[in-house]
Amino acid sequence: MNGLGGLNKSAHGVVIGLVQLQLPRIETRADIAAQTDRIVALVAKARANLATMDLVVFPEYALHGLSMDTRPEILCTLDGPEVAAFKRACAENRIWGCFSIMEANPGGNPYNSGLIIDDTGALKLYYRKMHPWVPVEPWEPGNLGIPVIDGPRGAKLGLIICHDGMFPEMARECAYRGAEIMIRTAGYTAPIRESWRFTNQANAFCNLMVTANVCLCGSDGTFDSMGEGMICNFDGTVLAHGTTGRVDEIITAEVRPDLVREARLSWGVENNIYQLGHRGYTAVAGGAQDCPYTYMTDLAAGRYRVPWEDQVQVTDGTGCGFPAPSRRYTGAPPAREAAE
């Protein structure tokens, strides 16, 4: 059930709209300003389109396009005019919104950042993409972890970006921190279509978590993005799917966080997010609560190394035209308050 795309909203439902935004071509600051206005207009369209909608989600690169341009003059900041416009749009239309910016970073390459703003215009979630799509993307690896917040109607929300969703650990971390709905925004193009579909479903099923996923759509004259707005229920079934590739279409569905909670409490078979840390509880009280996975212990100890490490051929972005980096990752910054 998806409530006819959210037209029939239940007492416990959260209605999500995924904007298959036309892929923009951005070259100047004026282009950024014009695209900001376009996104703001689509927030208003989402509200007018469906009065029951709680959250409207825009894809990764919605503001900047797919150029991978790192020039300072087209980058954004949290206190800049673009984010201020998004806040006003959410407040004026009384709707939660999820947005994408390429964020200036004085200490290195820009961050690929995602924001969730509530229906009063307050910034509630601030996330930096953990896994840039190397070697193609030049963004600094995210250093804020994966925040989970109380979203519309009390639903627990997490946000990851594009390539993040190809790592099962990312969805697992969202669920482990309590997310009932995980948003995944992307700029993916057609070669990733099948991988996009099955990872969205697997991320949902393996974690008893709704996933709401959307890509850019259409062509900028060079790249062709695929839309593919997808809302998957916690059992992995697809509630809504934008398969036509129609630009600016808003894919909608009602999801039920209360049923996510119920499943996580009452499921025995396939309650995998719980059972990971309670192996074989039928045989031993509480299950085995060790960590038998060498990739986890090695990663935590800073010695992650695949058996074929020395034979890996692509280990920097030089093949995509970026200079080989000389800086080392220094880790997460001091804790900061994401909400205003």
Res 2: pLDDT: 78
Q: Which of 9, 87, 129, 156 is catalytic?
A: 129
Structural domain of 98: 3-275
The per-residue pLDDT for range 98-138, each reduced to its tens digit, is 999 999 999 899 999 999 999 999 999 999 999 999 999 99
Any domain includes 334: no
First vs last Cα of the chain: how many Å apart? 35
Any domain includes 216: yes
Any domain includes 303: no
Specify whether 129 is catalytic: yes
The per-residue pLDDT for range 34-78, each reduced to its tens digit, is 999 999 999 999 999 999 999 999 999 999 999 999 999 999 999
Any domain includes 248: yes
Which tokens in the block code for residue 79? 């206190």
Q: Which of 76, 90, 98, 162 is catalytic?
A: 162
CATH number of domain containing 42:
3.60.110.10
Find how far residue 299's CA is from the centre of its chain. Answer: 23
Specify whether 73 is catalytic: no
Any domain includes 288: no
Specify whether 87 is catalytic: no
Q: Where are the beta strands (DSSP E) in the chain?
A: 14-19, 55-57, 96-103, 111-117, 123-128, 148-150, 156-161, 181-186, 210-215, 217-219, 224-226, 230-232, 238-241, 250-255
Any domain includes 309: no
Number of domains the chain contains = 1
The per-residue pLDDT for range 308-330, each reduced to its tens digit, is 999 999 999 999 999 999 999 98
Q: Which of 9, 60, 103, 140 is catalytic?
A: 60
